[in-house]
Structures are given as C-alpha cells and as structure tokens.
Chain A
Amino acid sequence: MTTITAAVRSPAALIFWGALLPFLLFGGTETVQAQGRGEKTAVLSGFVTDSSDGQPLTGANVLLQKLPDSTASYGGATDADGVYLIKGIRPGRYEMRVSFVGYVSHLDTLTLDSGQQQTINVSIGASESALEEVIVEEEQGEAVDVAAGRERIDPVEVERIPTPDVSGDLSSYLTVLPGVVTLADRGGQLFIRGGEPAQNMVLLDGMVLYKPFHLLGFYSAFPADIIDHADVYAGGFGAEYGRRLSSVIDVATRAGNKRHLAGRVSISPFMSELRLEGPLGTERVSALVSGRQSMLERGAAPLIGEELPFQFGDAFGKVHVDLDENSRLSVSAVRTYDRGTLRPDSEVETLPEETILADPFGEIRWQNWGIGARHLAVPSTLPVVTDFSLSLSGHRTELGPPDAPTRSSSVRTTRIAFDARFPGDRLTMQAGFEGSFSRLSHDLGGLYQDTFTDDLTTLDHIVMYVEPEVNLGAVRLQPGLRLQFLKSQFNPFLAPRLRMSWETGRHRVSAASGLYYQEAVGLSDRRDAASVFTAWTNIPKHSGLPRDDVRRGQTPRAVHGVLGYRVGLLPEVTLSLEGYYKHLSDLFIAEWTAFPRFTTRLQPADGRSYGAEVRLEGEWGPFYGYLGYGYSNTLYNARQSEIELWYGTEDLRFRPPHDRRHQLSVLLNVEVGGFDASARWQFASGRPYSRIVGFDGFAPVTRVGDATEFPGTRRVIYAAPFDGVLPPYHRLDVSAEQSFALGSDLELSVQAAVVNAYHRRNIFYLDTFTLKRVDQLPFTPSVGVALRYK
C-alpha cells in the first residue's frame, strides 16, 4: 500500500501523468480525424426515444448498412441518455436500422457526405409482436457490459421486491444484494462490502446526497416511480467517480412523460404517495413531481400494537427540455426529511440516569436537499458527447430536542462537473473535470472531544480524470486516472483505476481495481447500533499531544480489487461469481474506553474486507427467481496503548458491527396479467457486538487525599471488543397485487403484504447497559391501494 501511494505521488509520476493528461484529454479528437486514411469520414449521432412518452431508450442498437450491396456496416448502441454516436463512416448511401427489445424497429435510408456530421433523432414504439421481440433480443445480447463490482438496476427489478407499500423503492432492492449489509430494518444506513455508510457516494442526477435512506429500511429518496436506472458500484469504480472509499450509488431519474398527463396516487399503512407528470405546453418540455409521506404512527403502529415513532417523507421534481436537435437540459430538485427515535419513549423512562444523560437515543432528525441542472449535448461540429452539470445540495442532522439539539452537523456542497466522451470502435475516450466545494459545520456537545476544534470547515476538491476504453474484440480494457487536488495538502493525489472484461461465448470474466481517497469523513460511534448520528467533517488534525497517533491528519484511502465471472447456464438462467478485496487505511473510529458515555475521542485505524458473492438469476415466462449468497469478512485494526492494560495487546483488532459473514437472499416473483406476487426470504448470520464483564465505579486515585473527595463515575468493563455475536437474522416478506382496469387509461391496484410472515424475533440491538433488547418489525400485515392514470 505504502509503495503504491508513494509511487503515484512521486514527483516523476506527477510530471509523467501531468504531461500525459492533456494528451489523453484531447487525444480522442485526433484519433477520430486520423481514421479517414486520407478520405474524410462522416459522423452520425442522435437521441433514440420511446414514442409513447419521450423517454430515452438505453441500449437501443443503431445499425448502418451501405447500399446497395452491404459492403460496409457500422453500428453502435445508445447510452443511458439514449444517445448514439457513430463515427468513421465512409461517405455514401446507407440503410439505417434502429432496434430495441420489444419495440418496432425503425428503418430509414440516408446519404452521408464526406466530412458530414449528421444528427438523426429517432422515436420508436412498443411492438405487439412477440416474434420481433425475440429477434431484437438476440441483437441486444451482443452488447458487452463491463461488470466487475457494478450492477445496473432498473425500476422493473425494484418493483419485484415485496414491500409493505404498493410502490417499490430502490432501498428495498439494495438490501437484497449479497454485498449490502443493513444493521436492521431501521436506521437508514447501508454498509457495502465492508464499507461504512459515510464511505458510499450517493448521487441523484449528479447531486451529492449524504443520507438519502429513510429511518425505516424499506424507503429512501429513490421511489421506483422516478428512477430511470441506478448504477451501484460495490467496489472497483472507475475514474469518473471518487471522493469516497467504498462504493458509489449513482441514480438517474426519468424525464417526465412528454406526450400526455400521467400520474399515480397510493396509500398504505406505511406510506402515501402522489406522482404527476406530463408535457408542459409542448412535447419538448416535460415535468415530473413526486411526493411521499410516511403513515407509520397512525397506520402501521396500531396494526402491530407497537410504537413506530418514525416520520419521514420526500419530494422530487424534474423538468426536462429538448433544447434542440442536439441537446437536452434537465433541472432536478429533491428534499427529504426524517425524524424519530430508535428507542421508544416508554423504554427511555426506564434507563439509568447516566444513559439518558449521554443522550444517544434522543430524537434523531435529518434532512437532505438538492437542486441541480444538467446539460447534455452532441455538438454538430465534433464527434463528442458532452455532459455538464451544476448542483447545490445539503444535509443537516440533529440529535436531541428540536429546540435545543445536543448534537448537530451540517454540510453543503456545490458541485460542477463536465464530462466529454469521444466514442469510437476501438477506442472510446472519456475525460472530465469536477469541482466540489463543501462547507461543513458541527456542534457535537463533547462527542469526539479534543479532535474537533473548528466548528466550521471548508473542503474543496478539484478533480480531472481520463478514462479511455479500449476494445480489443473479446477483451475490453478501461484504464483510468484521476488527478485529485484536495484541501488537506498542496500536492495532488493520483488515483489510478482499471476495469476490464474478457468475453467469449457464454462466459465473461471481469476485473477491476483502483486507489481511492476520501477527505470528508462521516464520524459515527459504531460501538452502539442505535447510534445513527453521523457528523460530517474534514479529517481530524493532529492535536500535538504526544499520545496522538502520527497517522492523524492522513487522508483515508482504500485499494480495491474485484474479480468476477459470469456464465449463461441456460438461455434464461445466469450464474455470477464475484470476489473482492478492500484494504482501508487511516480510517477514524471512536476510541475504545470504559467510560459508560458516548463522548469519546477518535483514533486512527486500518481495515480490510474481503468476500465472495454468488448469484443465480432466471426468468421463465411469468416467473422470476433470484438467489444470492454473499460471504464477507471485515476486520479493523487500531492501535491504542491504554487497552494493553486490560486486553494485553496494543493492537485492537476487531470485527466491526457490520461484519456479517453470511447473507442469503431468495426472491420469487410471478406476474400474470394484472396479478403480481412476490416473496423474499433473507438469512443473515449474526453481527458482532461487545459483551460485558460487568459494571462498577471508577474513582481515579491521583493524589493523597480522602476517598470521599475523588470524583467518581460509572464504568463499564467490556470483554474484548465485538467478541460476541448476535443471533442470526431471517425473515420472509410476501406481497400480492391485483390490478383492475377502470377504463382505457385508469387502473386500480390493490396490494396485500406481510412483513416477517412467520413472526421471527429479529434483534435490532441489545442495550448492554440494561440488558434490554429492541427487535425489528414483527409480523406486520398491510393493505394498500393505488390509482394510476396512464
């Protein structure tokens, strides 16, 4: 690790990469111009959309065949924005064919002159013919997807997960993934392949969201209704992404319907929802608005006879404009809020005084907000796709009474990003610039004392990256380099990345690796599962005290390695295997202490996580099945001299509380006509927790005097940190939904669902101070209805 870091940050390396970067940034254009071999070639580009609602179609194939003898052909596929760009086309007359799974193909003829760059936007409609579906499906299957550590999630997959609500949510789907660990069905925290929640970058249309998952684990700021797709990188993400150590969740939302008004309203004991979308005066402009409000306290809580003191909601809006033939503009805004207590009031009253004084279980509140604009263009003068985005987003979290919170933390981030992609047959070049400017403030009331001296800090990142994609037939290489200027030091960080795949027949092998840095850190007290308060700040500075670890002030970093294999066992069944390793350096964790309070200092730590995942997925007519198993092994190592006195070693090596070793998910879904039923069973082995030897008092004898005068406090005598294991978790959730047509455009859906169908007592956390346990949701039935206007 040290060697790698030193190598990429050495002066020679900086000069080398600094000289190479401009070449790589502008080399794509040169490559295109050289392809003509003396004859100027043509370029064809445009957008492919769904004719029924104007949505961009991802993965549509565009094929050009020279007329009249088909002596030359060129092809390409649309990206996530429905953009295609084919260059190096010899002048002449061509047949153009645009096809997509389940859609009627578009056929046209066109003539391309020497040096011409032509834009042709195509709208295609859904097909009624099953035969054509099969044909285009074969064409679609030729596309190669580099997949190490990455998964693209579509709303259809999200809707398959049974939830107690009529509509799906990305959060429910993420918890099915074998590498994603949640501490419970509440808390709003996701741990991805050994990484902590604050190490996950979450983007919504380019806006940075710091805590987008709601208090109840089924829900997030991403209802399935607004999602176009989500890319989840559990590790090994490319040079386009950075500023986080562990993973990326990049969510792109739909544009609103550009053809006609549509909407949906739904209600259940868990959530109420309203969505409206439609054209704004012209088919070139659409709007989409969505709002949700939890109903738990008055809906679900009476059903199960337990307190569910959670309130949350979210609102989203987007305007999408087709500016002209070559460019699109969208403006998105989001706002979420959460408030609740993870421990019911009735239990707080029974707690010892010092536990209440420590106030780890007071009301927690947080909110996210963001507004962003994105301009996407395929210029008529250059064979390039440009993507410019500007966003402002923020997050605030508080713990304690609303009028006088005991802790609070805020962060506000302005982000500017410009990406340019030069597509090509053999070489596709992508490069970009990103500026991120954050302002962080906190009032921690003693938490992490002697670490935070500044209540207000700023954190600026300037980033340039280049990421060519080399197509060598069966092999695709995607090396990347990210040049990061962070505020913590003048010298830039260089973060090399590499993604690659090799595909032959039914087999595909993929791999990814990279070096990652994170300067903004989210600090939580992981000794307590119910403590979900996270303070965002810059990396702690060295206090100057001799007992400080010299690593204080170092920027946390990680090295990832991912290796995957995927095989099509049958035409409908796919098996995927993936292994990963993450090494984490210079993390900051709460210092281990025997004081029974939650005001503690920080200490640096290292960590590593490795694991393997298996997925078996199949679809047979109306049936869909998924089985995912994940093994994970995470270990933290912190050095702390004083713990040697009790544990006999300075090396505090422990399993963090999110180190679930085994996870198994089984999902079954059937959809026939208007009937849709799903069942999900999940098993997860127990999480580590710290056991207790006992409780006593502590009155430090530091001077000659009467023992009556020594200040005394309670003390908790811990066994070795996180040496206990909670019971395993397993749960069955089922749902069934029937839709009824109430006319040509109106549809009523009724859903019945049961969470925890066999009433398993799954533990949320155990308060080791009082030996009281708090369980997750019991057997919880619900019924919901939705009215949809197509």
Chain B
Amino acid sequence: MRPALLTFLLSVVLVLSGCETSVDPIVGTEKAFSLYGVLQPRADTQWVRVYPIKEQLRPTPPDSLDVTFRSTELERGRSTVWHDSLIREDDGRYAHVYWSRTPIAYERTYRLEVTESGGTTRVEVPVPEPAGLALREPQAEAAPVIVPVHVTRSVPRLINLEVEYYVQYDRAENVAGNDPPTARLRVSYDGAQGQIDGGWVVPVDLSEDFQVLRERLVNADLWNSSVGLVMRNMTLRLEVVNEAWNPPGGEFDPNVLVEPGAMSNVRNGFGFVGAGYQLKKQWTPSVEVLEKAGWTNPADLY
C-alpha cells in the first residue's frame, strides 16, 4: 500500500474514532442551597434543613458544611448565627439541620441567609400575629347543628384544620356490661374556614360529622345500634401560617411540591421556609346540642 494512502486511511480512522465522544450532562446553576423549615414563635429552638445543590448525586459526608447560617430580625436588625447539626434520614443518609435558640417574635420578619464563598442563599419570613380560638353559641335551632369557632385575629392563612372527636361506641356482638371501646376519630376541615371581619370562622358541623363517623363505624362493622355513638369531647386543631405558605391547588401533594419552584420563597436557591404556630380548642357540647345533631345521650349508653 502506498504511504500516502496509508496515511490517509489512518487519518480517517483517527478522526472517526475520536470526534465528539464526550458528554456534559450538567447544565449547572448559580443557586447554591435548598432550605426547608418553619419559624415557630412558640418553640424554644428553631430548625432549618439545608441541602447544598450539587452537580453529582453523592452521599452526604458527615462533615460540617463550610457555610455561615445567619438570621436577622429586619425590624430591629438583630442577627444570630445558627449552629450546624447532622441528622440521619430514613434511608440512612446524613442531612444538615441548622438550629438556634434565638426567640422568634410574632409580627416580625426574619431574613435567613446561608453564605458560602460563592454567594448567598436567602429567604425572608414574616411571622404571623398571635391569635386565639373562641367558641360561639351553637346554631341548634334547626339541622344541621353548627358550632362556629372564631379565630380572633386576621391572620394570613389557616392550614391543616381538623376536628378530633373522642367517642365511645360498641361492637354489634358485644354484650351489655363490658366497657365499650373508645376512639379518637378525626375529620378534616381544610378549606372549611371563612374570613370575617377581624378574623376567621370555622363552622364545625356536628350533624354532618356524626353521619360521617357513624358511616365509618358501620363500614368497619363496629356499629351497635343499641349503643349508638357517644361523644365525650371534641378538639379543633389548626395552624396559623404566613401568606407564602400556599401550595399549588391548595393541596400538599408531594408529587407537586417536589418540582423545583413549587411553593418556594427562597432566593438563589430552592425550598420553602414558613412561619406559624398551632392553635387548638377542646370542649364538650351540651347533651341537648348533641342529641339534636344525632349523637347519643351518654346517659343512654346501654
């Protein structure tokens, strides 16, 4: 074979075998951290989880992150540096959670900043004002029987509303004289709240809830018609949170929230840090009110 032809063929082989074989799948981002947590004015310790945004999926080493985590109360300019800690998640991997005992005050706004050499990820978190729950007279003149519960201040948002009923019932085959079982049964009130002048109202529907719980017992074959369903007490629980705590579609669906940018208030990063606190009120309606709503009079148990 002629040297020129051989050289040509070798060149072709080298070009064909070598060109454009590398791949760079990482687009990269200037965003540095993802933050998740809740500022709680009623807690003595605050916690925020910090995930660095990396270009490769590698196990997190149990080493300290080389960052500064600082909170600043914007109204008064008070700053606090938070401490790093490690937790093990369910699958055994490490995660960094920063904490501080700095008190969180109502109606203040806090800026949280995670600073590293390359930049700063920050989030500003307003804390809602303090509020309480107040029972109003039941509307028992006609069915359904409604107990209005007022939230005493115009707080931004209410989430995770539920009523827990502490009840007594019995199995169909149980004989009289044995202690009837008790249970705590919950009914969600998410979305039931309404805004009123100077606050919110949660209309607790005793009639509807009785029907719901009765059906649950019947479906579970736990309904004894001679015993009925007796309510010992009931508890309304809800959480007062800030305005940004607003999931897409009003629903906390992990498959939605997992999308980057979903319910995120973090700048130069991803995630969500909210603020809020829990409220709860426990009471027992009068026997007359309960009977009008369909519940069994405790005196009629057996």
Contact = CB atoms under 8 A, between A and B. Distances in A.
A9 interface: no
A763 B16 contact: no
Interface stretch (A339-347, A421-429, A726-734, A737-745): A726-734
A593 interface: yes
A336 B274 CA distance: 58
A447 to B, nearest CB: 15
Contacts of A699: 36, 49, 51, 95, 271
B169 interface: no
B36 A355 contact: no
A697 B59 contact: no
B239 to A, nearest CB: 5
B56 A642 contact: no
B255 interface: yes
B57 A352 contact: yes
A324 interface: no
A593 B36 contact: no
Contacts of A695: 53-57
A703 B160 contact: yes
A595 interface: yes
A305 B97 CA distance: 47
Interface size class of B (residues with CB under 8 A): 35 or more
Contact of B95 (A593, A697, A701): A697
A704 B34 contact: no
B17 A770 contact: no
Nearest to B60: A697
Interface size class of A (residues with CB under 8 A): 35 or more
Contacts of B159: 703
Contacts of B276: 704
Contacts of B54: 694-696
A711 B36 contact: no
Nearest to A759: B17
Given A708-B87, A710-B36, A717 B57 contact: no
Contacts of A152: none
Interface centre among A642, A693, A701, A706 (most CB of B within 10 A): A701
Contact of B27 (A645, A692, A771): A692
A569 interface: no
B91 to A, nearest CB: 7
Contacts of A454: none
Contact of A706 (B29, B47, B51, B57): B47
Nearest to B40: A704
Interface in B36-64: 36-38, 40, 43, 45, 47-49, 51-59
Contact of A697 (B13, B51, B241): B51
Interface centre among A692, A696, A706 (most CB of B within 10 A): A696
B38 A701 contact: yes
A768 B24 CA distance: 9
Contact of B25 (A713, A715, A759, A771): A771
A691 B93 contact: no
A706 to B, nearest CB: 5
Interface centre among B17, B22, B43, B91 (most CB of A within 10 A): B17
B261 interface: yes
A698 B50 CA distance: 10
Contacts of A716: 57
Interface in A185-219: none
A75 B92 CA distance: 79
B263 to A, nearest CB: 8
A643 B17 CA distance: 40
Contact of B23 (A694, A700, A766): A766
A716 B57 CA distance: 8
A594 B259 contact: yes
Contact of A719 (B27, B59, B239, B245): B27
Contact of A707 (B36, B93, B257, B261): B36
Interface in B256-274: 256-263, 270-274
A402 to B, nearest CB: 26
Given A692-B25, A728-B20, A771-B26, A593 B91 contact: no
Given A694-B54, A712-B95, A707 B37 contact: yes
Contacts of B97: 707-708
Interface string A7-44: 00000000000000000000000000000000000000
B91 A353 contact: yes
A157 to B, nearest CB: 27
Interface in A580-617: 591, 593-596, 601
B85 to A, nearest CB: 8
A773 interface: yes
A623 interface: no
Contacts of A705: 38
Contacts of B272: 701
Contacts of B56: 695, 769-771
Nearest to B270: A696
A724 interface: yes
A596 B57 contact: yes
Nearest to A727: B20
A689 interface: yes
A437 interface: no
B21 A694 contact: no
A727 B49 contact: no
Contacts of A696: 33-34, 51-54, 270-271
A698 B95 CA distance: 11
Contact of B55 (A354, A694, A762): A694
A689 B254 CA distance: 25
B51 A727 contact: no
B53 A760 contact: no
Given A353-B59, A702-B252, A704-B278, A643 B259 contact: yes
Interface string B125-153: 00000000000000000000000000000
A675 interface: no
A698 B57 contact: no
B300 interface: no
Interface in A544-585: 547
A701 B27 CA distance: 27
B28 interface: yes
A124 B168 CA distance: 94
A697 B52 CA distance: 8
Interface string A757-781: 0111111001011110100000000
B16 A700 contact: no
Contacts of A702: 160, 247, 252, 257
B248 A727 contact: no
Given A758-B16, A771-B56, A701 B274 contact: yes
Given A594-B260, A699-B49, A773-B23, A704 B95 contact: no
A646 B259 contact: yes
Interface in B54-79: 54-59
Interface of A: 352-355, 357, 547, 591, 593-596, 601, 641-643, 645-646, 689, 691-708, 710-717, 719, 724, 726-728, 730, 732, 758-763, 766, 768-771, 773
9 closest residue pairs by CB, A with B = A697-B51, A707-B37, A702-B252, A707-B47, A699-B36, A642-B256, A696-B34, A769-B57, A645-B262
Interface of B: 12-13, 16-17, 20-23, 25-29, 31, 33-34, 36-38, 40, 43, 45, 47-49, 51-59, 87, 89-93, 95, 97, 159-160, 239, 241, 245, 247-249, 252-263, 270-274, 276-278
10 contacts: A645-B248, A645-B256, A694-B53, A700-B36, A701-B36, A706-B38, A707-B38, A707-B47, A708-B47, A770-B57
